[in-house]
Amino acid sequence: MDLKDSTDQAAFRDEVRAFIREHGAKAKMPAREDFESGWSREARDRQKGWREAIVDKGWVAPAWPKEYGGAGMSAVEQFILNEEFAENGLNNVGGFGVMMIGPTLMVHGSEEQKQEHLPKILRGEVVWCQGWSEPGAGSDLASLQTRATRDGDEYVLNGQKIWTSGAQHADWMYMLARTDPDAPKHRGISLLMFPMTSPGVSVRPLINMADNAGFNEVFFEDVHVPVKNRVGEENRGWYVGMTLTDFERSGIGSAVGTQRQLERILRHAKERPSEQTVLDKNKSWRLQMADRWVEADIARLFSYRNITIQARSMVPNHEASMSKLFTSELGQRIAATNLKLYGLHGTIWDRAREEAEHGMAAGGYLGAVSSSIAGGTSEIQRNIIATRGLGLPRG
Ligand SMILES: Cc1cc2nc3c(=O)[nH]c(=O)nc-3n(C[C@H](O)[C@H](O)[C@H](O)COP(=O)(O)OP(=O)(O)OC[C@H]3O[C@@H](n4cnc5c(N)ncnc54)[C@H](O)[C@@H]3O)c2cc1C
């Protein structure tokens, strides 16, 4: 396999590197509080300079077609952009707006919806959250029960969502609600959008076991949503929702991030005074670290495979699940390896103490647990690989 850039790709990579050299410093590295607060508005504001530089360059939505204000990049250019950003620990600024609801509006939205929302998403003005999961509907999402009852030119919404990332800071939500309770479960769902300030919406933060306020419960009590805020046809929301394609499915961001994380752990291992580490007492730690290093390379190769599929204008399917499964579980193994580096100090989880990265090693270990649940659990990924990849019957 030839992984070298073509001449054009190399020129584009140089352009991205020059952009990062000029503007990268404006992206203030997120503080621990930024993670713990679930990216508050203040945390976002600290990234303002970086966001504006990307907006001016027209790179907020690399994969969107130019007619909608995107950069119209090929899959490979997009990959190069994300790879270079990730190499430098930088994020793009789009969030759910660019990745999810924007592309959906392009395909299924009315002209009015596109005019209203796409420019604001591109300017990073509106923060979106995704109301999919409910207490009784996660992996089996089509079982969702939140009701939207039609009343003239409005829907009246009642029910509850859960695990809604960033809802406490979001301006708008897009969500799935049941509009026909008598239809077969996939056929009675519609996709609605509304401001989080709508009367009847209340948000209750959930603190995860790593003490981060990343996600929330969201309750709806007689929330009035104009019918014009429905995306696509009534009762076809399941199919509209399922076209919410992540335009950057390769997973390169997390694969590169994984390698950066390992480099950081290695640096710490070499810098720490030996009495605070297990480095020279526990040879098995070195072997673990070597395993993680090999696995990080494998994660990167999964990304290259996905991008090769996309470059042929195909959509990675069970291949994306393989990458997600491997990379999210690798993140957990890395967090465990990092924790072990500090021996008993690894159990200290207090930012006022300097041991174990001010408690970050323990916090990271706890935080990593959710990665194999978010975005589809590992079991669901394995089911996809077994059925679509290996052709095995459904269990
Ligand atoms: C950090 C984080 C952020 C999230 N952000 C959002 C968000 O912004 N918006 C949103 O809507 N949701 C969000 N979620 C929710 C996430 O999508 C769900 O947690 C996930 O889909 C699993 O659903 P569940 O929690 O209901 O678990 P369940 O579906 O109840 O699963 C429980 C267990 O059963 C297993 N299981 C279920 N079905 C099968 C099966 N068919 N075969 C084998 N095993 C099975 C699962 O793997 C799991 O181990 C987030 C979750 C996390 C952890």
- State pLDDT tens for residues 208-244: 998 888 899 999 999 999 999 999 999 999 999 887 6
Q: How far apart are CA 371 and CA 216, in angstroms?
A: 17
How many angstroms separate the alpha carbon of residue 337 from the centre of ligand 1? Answer: 26
Distance from C-alpha of 331 to C-alpha of 309, rounded to nearest angstrom: 24
Residue 252 carries which DSSP code?
H
Strands 128-131 and 172-178: parallel
- 15: which 2 tokens? 């352009």
User: Cβ–Cβ contacts within 10 Å for residue 343, how many?
Assistant: 18
Distance 99 CA to ligand 1 centre (A): 20
* Mean pLDDT score, 312-327: 90
Dist. CA 35–CA 336, nearest whole Å = 19
The tokens describing 334, both together, are 């890395």
User: What contacts 146, CB < 8 A, 6 or more positions away?
Assistant: 131, 134, 157, 158, 159, 160, 161, 175, 176, 177, 178, 220
Instruction: Report the CATH number of the 252-389 domain.
Output: 1.20.140.10
The residue whose CA is least distant from atom 35 of ligand 1 is 379
Give, in words, the CATH class of 128-242. Answer: mainly beta
Q: Which residue has the higher pLDDT, 283 or 382?
A: 382
Among 45-49, 51-55, 251-255, which range has the highest average pLDDT? 51-55
Contact 231, 174 (CB under 8 A): yes
* Tokens standing for residue 302: 């999964």
- pLDDT score of 361: 92
Q: How far is the CA of 138 from the centre of ligand 1 (A)?
A: 5
Pocket lining: 215 vs ligand 1, CB cutoff 6 Å: yes
Ligand 1: does its nearest atom lie under 6 Å from the Cβ of 377?
Answer: yes
pLDDT at residue 276, rounded to an integer: 58
Query: Does ligand 1 have an atom closer than 6 angstroms to the CB of 383?
Result: yes
Pocket of ligand 1 contains residue 371 by CB under 6 Å: no
CA neighbor of 215 nearest in space, from 325, 142, 129 = 129
Confidence of residue 275 (pLDDT cuts 50, 70, 90): low
Q: Which residue has the higher pLDDT, 100 or 387?
A: 387
165 CB less than 6 Å from ligand 1?
A: yes
Is pLDDT at 37 greater than 70 in this prediction?
no
Going 151 to 155 to 161 to 166, the CA torsion angle's sign is negative
pLDDT band at 381 (very low <50, low <70, confident <90, very high): very high
C-alpha 348: how far from chain center = 29
Number of the ligand 1 atom closest to the C-alpha atom of 132? 11
CATH 1.10.540 spans which residues of the chain?
7-93
Give the model's pLDDT for residue 278: 62
What is the C-alpha separation between 7 and 80, in angstroms, rounded? 13
The answer to whether residues 89 and 258 touch, using CB atoms and an 8 Å cutoff, is no
16 Cα to the center of ligand 1, angstroms: 36
Residue to substitute in 133, 176, 209 for testing ligand 1 pocket (most ligand atoms within 8 angstroms of CB):
133
Residue 288 Cβ < 6 Å to ligand 1: no
pLDDT band at 250; cut points 50, 70, 90: low
Q: Which atom of ligand 1 is nearest to the CA of 175?
A: 11
* Alpha carbon of 48 to ligand 1 centroid (Å): 32
In the chain, ranges of CATH 2.40.110.10 domains: 128-242
Half-sphere exposure (Cβ direction) of 109: Cα atoms closer than 13 Å: 21
Fold of domain 7-93: Butyryl-Coa Dehydrogenase, subunit A; domain 1 (1.10.540)
Query: Given the CA of residue 379, which atom of ligand 1 is nearest to it?
Result: 47
CA–CA separation, 124 and 119 (whole Å):
9
| Sign of torsion over alpha carbons 64, 70, 72, 77 | negative
User: What residue spans of the chain are helical by DSSP H?
Assistant: 7-23, 32-36, 41-46, 48-57, 75-87, 95-96, 102-108, 111-122, 237-242, 252-271, 283-311, 318-341, 355-358, 360-367, 378-384
pTM of the predicted model as reported, rounded to 2 decimal places:
0.92
Q: How far is the CA of 263 from the centre of ligand 1 (A)?
A: 31
CA of 162 to the centre of ligand 1 (A): 10
